Amino acid sequence: MTKLRFSQEFRARLSGKVMELGNLTVGALVLGQFVTNREFSTLAFIAGIVLAVLCYSVSYLVSH
């Protein structure tokens, strides 16, 4: 199996973009629950937390 080798600069940029995706997920699915006039959605809230943690974890793993 061939291992891909990326430059440190590329990994740093990718890590930053994945972190931004995690931040957008928190903003849209978690904080959005408290801003809208709609009924609170537990599923969207939990999905937002899980996706954000996943994005943050991938970002960490890509950068190291």
- 2-28 pLDDT tens trace: 777 888 999 999 999 999 999 999 999
pLDDT of residue 36: 85
Residue 48: per-residue pLDDT: 93
Domain boundaries in the chain? Answer: 8-63
Q: How far apart are CA 1 and CA 55, in angstroms?
A: 26
Whether the pTM exceeds 0.85: the reply is: no
Structure confidence at residue 3 (pLDDT) = 77
pLDDT at 59: 95
